[in-house]
Structure 1
Amino acid sequence: MGYLYLAMAITAEVIATSALKASEEFTRLIPSIVVILGYGAAFYLLSLVLKTIPVGVAYAIWAGMGIVLIAIVAAIMFKQVPDLPAIIGMVLIVSGVIVINVFSKTASH
């Protein structure tokens, strides 16, 4: 269940962050509500994740995947396409998350 909750937390965080841009500094009501509910859900779900997945591993996955997914959403929704160095950096982040999950004994506790 931990990884399912983690996927849900990442999704909530990506939705909230996308709405943060759309909220225009909390001057638009609906996106502002989405931000508050999204981050609340993300942190609640992350707290459930920490019952079964070590905090360092959970946060690495959450942050790493959030960065990549937000970059994809920003490219599609806001036309903020990352340049080559940014893409290389994100590939390295994802590679690090994969290394943690495949090779680290910490990830299996």
Structure 2
Amino acid sequence: MKIMVTLTQRTGVAYATAEYDGKIITVLAGGKISPDFANHIRGGKTAKAYRDNPEYVDKNGKILKNCEFTSSSTAAQFVTGRSTNGYKAWKVEKKLSLGQYLKDKGLR
């Protein structure tokens, strides 16, 4: 099972596409992260490690390489820079939340 999901911050500053396989969510290269980052968020160490690595994110916030996460929320935090519920933030076909999609399919 591979599900393509998107996340766009309301301000339009940050956006990304990811692939979710039921265990790993991979944020794909080509998106853009928010320039802001709250250091106190849970799971923030993994998100910050990718953000601070110039092999993965350039100085303008463009995602250069795919980034893997075991949590949809940490992946969303990586993009938005703040505490985010990944099951609500990531959208399937730009409308249905990942959490609702998985629930409807009997996968959550």
Query: What TM-score do the two structures reach when normalised by structure 2?
Result: 0.28
Query: What TM-score do the two structures reach when normalised by structure 1?
Result: 0.27
Larger radius of gyration between Structure 1 and Structure 2: 1
Counting strand residues as a fraction of each chain, which structure ranks higher?
2
Counting helix residues as a fraction of each chain, which structure ranks higher?
1
